[in-house]
């Protein structure tokens, strides 16, 4: 099974960690620098183009103001003048710089003539020696990498930054702007929004501030830089997540499975995360049924709802007739209803194939799903068989028998996928609380609960959106109460 959501949540507090986590999507977090900063970059670019040689640019700013973000995203600020940039990590030698630039430019268009920003981000408070400075001058003056370049040198010491600027100007000549560049970062008024957006984008989960670490509760005026502000939030958020992880010996997950004639998730796509397939969205659930009794109950407990979803890694999925009917037919020794209708039993192998193709089967088999993938219309035979099953009714304990059949199907699919587990249960109380999930899968570090709702007709159609949301919210309420998170 995929990693529990709690183990994935984090709030990165440095640009490098953000870039590693988000890749190109980090551009969605960028805040445009001041006009002065943009004008400085434009003047430097024009100088490089006019003189046909690069320049060394010390950049001064306190730790955490966003110097790395600023210099590594010149492409975003002035896309007509700058290409993507890269961080140089090697020794400051002429040959090392040339080799690094030539390797980097392989990823650029063959006719690229835009300026390549090179960031020296590992030498703060360690200015270049005279030999290294001479190598930098030679590299920049000769355009030895076959592309125009600007080498940015971020520095937290104003004295070192000013000294480096003077040393470079003394050997290379005056530049069109006064060096070093002084960078102050985004205005304080934007810090809370930046932190909230970072929290959401880094985790691809909405409303995580409801867990109790809300950037709006922290005053930017109490912190010197954006970096120190986000670092405080990061410590608080990560501590909160760790506390939730420590609450149980085994993490608990729950999947609410809608079994009906619906061939696809239908309204579930409006109630779940667009970025994490199947993961429930707390605000969406309340918004579609805000006037119902359960909607009103949760509306006054939004923080608890987000916590319940996150701590339970709570998801909602569709189990189409093609998988449901096949599982019931092929994992049960006797099903008179299907025998009478001539719905043939092929055996476990067919059941594993059909159930394994479903979203639930894939998740249990350890396949991460990022979005719904259309799989066509269920076969007429499977749909007809499921309709017969629905006509006979799912009450009077019949659903309990179906849940026991699904237990067999789950074990077969997980064994086929070679996913390790300790044991499974059907209609059996969890050992640490009063919950009785329809199915439960025990692994060394988790209890995966599965709750089915067997329904007649196309239950996930748009007309049932409120009913679907109410069912989910009621199920989550039961979990929250049984786990002791609320006594209401």
Q: Is 187 helix (H, G, I), strand (E, B) or coil?
A: coil
Res 377 pLDDT > 50: no
The domain locations on the chain are: 32-182, 189-242, 251-482
Asked if residue 116 lies in contact with residue 104, where contact means CB atoms within 8 angstroms, the answer is yes
pLDDT (0 to 100) of residue 322: 87
User: What number does CATH give the domain 32-182?
Assistant: 3.40.50.300
Lowest mean pLDDT among 326-335, 336-345, 349-358: 336-345
pLDDT-based confidence at residue 376 (cuts at 50, 70, 90): very low
Over pLDDT 70: what percentage of the chain?
95
pLDDT (0 to 100) of residue 341: 67
What is the rounded CA–CA span in Å between residue 488 and residue 484?
A: 10
What is the rounded CA–CA span in Å between residue 109 and residue 115?
A: 13
* Average pLDDT of the residues in 95-113: 88
Lowest mean pLDDT among 273-277, 378-382, 480-484: 378-382
pLDDT (0 to 100) of residue 374: 43
| 399: region left, alpha or beta (phi > 0 left; psi from -120 to 50 alpha) | alpha
What is the rounded CA–CA span in Å between residue 14 and residue 63?
A: 10
pLDDT (0 to 100) of residue 299: 95
| 437: region left, alpha or beta (phi > 0 left; psi from -120 to 50 alpha) | beta
- Start-to-end Cα distance in the chain: 33
Res 206 pLDDT > 80: yes
What is the rounded CA–CA span in Å between residue 296 and residue 469?
A: 12
Could you tell me the two tokens for 37?
């900063």
Res 100 pLDDT > 70: yes
Lowest mean pLDDT among 26-30, 37-41, 135-139, 279-283: 26-30
Give 166's DSSP letter. H
Dihedral (CA of 177, 183, 189, 192) sign: positive
Res 371 pLDDT > 70: no
Res 378 pLDDT > 70: no
Neighbours of 357 (CB within 10 A): 15
Per-residue pLDDT reduced to its tens digit, 391-441: 776 764 567 888 999 999 999 999 999 999 999 999 999 998 889 999 999
- Alpha-carbon separation of residue 172 from 68, 175, 298, 417 (angstroms): 25, 9, 66, 64
Dihedral (CA of 279, 281, 284, 288) sign: positive
* 55 φ/ψ angles, rounded to the nearest 5 degrees: -150, 145
Q: What is the mean pLDDT of the chain?
A: 90
Res 196 pLDDT > 90: yes
């Amino acid at each position: 099974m995929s990693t529990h959501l709690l183990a994935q949540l984090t709030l990165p507090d440095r640009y490098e960690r953000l870039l590693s986590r988000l890749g190109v999507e980090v551009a969605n977090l960028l805040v445009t620098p001041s006009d002065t900063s943009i004008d400085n970059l434009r003047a430097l670019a024009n100088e490089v183009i006019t003189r046909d040689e690069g320049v060394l640019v010390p950049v001064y700013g306190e730790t955490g103001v966003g110097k790395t973000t600023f210099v590594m995203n010149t492409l975003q600020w002035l896309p007509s003048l700058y290409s993507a940039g890269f961080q140089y990590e090697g020794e400051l030698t002429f040959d090392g710089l040339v080799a690094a630039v030539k390797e980097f430019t392989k990823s650029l268009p063959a006719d690229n003539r835009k300026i390549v920003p090179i960031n020296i981000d590992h030498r703060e408070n360690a200015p270049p020696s005279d030999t290294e400075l001479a190598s930098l001058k030679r590299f920049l003056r000769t355009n030895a990498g076959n592309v125009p370049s600007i080498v940015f040198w971020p520095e937290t010491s104003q004295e070192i930054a000013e000294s480096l600027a003077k040393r470079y100007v003394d050997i290379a000549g005056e530049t069109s702007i006064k060096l070093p560049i002084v960078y102050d970062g985004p205005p304080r008024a934007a810090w809370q929004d930046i932190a909230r957006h970072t929290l959401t984008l880094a985790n691809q989960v909405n409303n995580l501030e409801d867990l109790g670490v809300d950037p709006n509760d922290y005053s930017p005026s109490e912190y010197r830089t954006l970096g120190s502000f986000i670092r405080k939030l990061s410590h608080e958020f990560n501590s909160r997540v760790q506390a939730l992880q420590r609450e149980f010996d085994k993490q608990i997950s729950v999947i609410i499975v809608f079994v009906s004639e619906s061939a696809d998730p239908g309204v579930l796509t409006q109630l779940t995360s667009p970025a994490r397939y199947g993961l429930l969205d707390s605000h969406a659930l309340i918004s579609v049924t805000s006037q119902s009794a359960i909607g009103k109950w949760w509306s006054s407990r939004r923080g608890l709802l987000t916590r319940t979803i996150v701590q339970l890694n709570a998801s909602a999925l569709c189990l189409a007739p093609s998988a449901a009917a096949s599982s019931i037919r092929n994992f049960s020794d006797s099903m008179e209803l299907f025998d009478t209708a001539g719905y043939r039993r092929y055996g476990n192998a067919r059941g594993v194939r059909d159930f394994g193709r479903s979203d639930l089967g894939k998740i249990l088999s350890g396949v991460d799903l990022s979005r719904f993938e259309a799989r066509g219309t269920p076969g007429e035979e499977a749909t007809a068989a499921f309709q017969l099953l629905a006509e006979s009714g799912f009450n009077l304990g019949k659903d309990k028998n179906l849940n026991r059949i699904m237990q067999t199907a789950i074990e077969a699919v997980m064994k086929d996928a070679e996913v390790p587990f300790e044991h499974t249960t059907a209609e059996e109380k969890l050992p640490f609380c009063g919950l009785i999930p329809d199915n439960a899968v025990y692994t060394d570090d988790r209890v995966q609960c599965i709750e089915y709702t067997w329904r007649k007709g196309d239950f996930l159609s748009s007309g049932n959106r409120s009913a679907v949301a109410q069912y989910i919210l009621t199920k989550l309420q039961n979990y929250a109460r049984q786990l002791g998170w609320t006594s209401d």
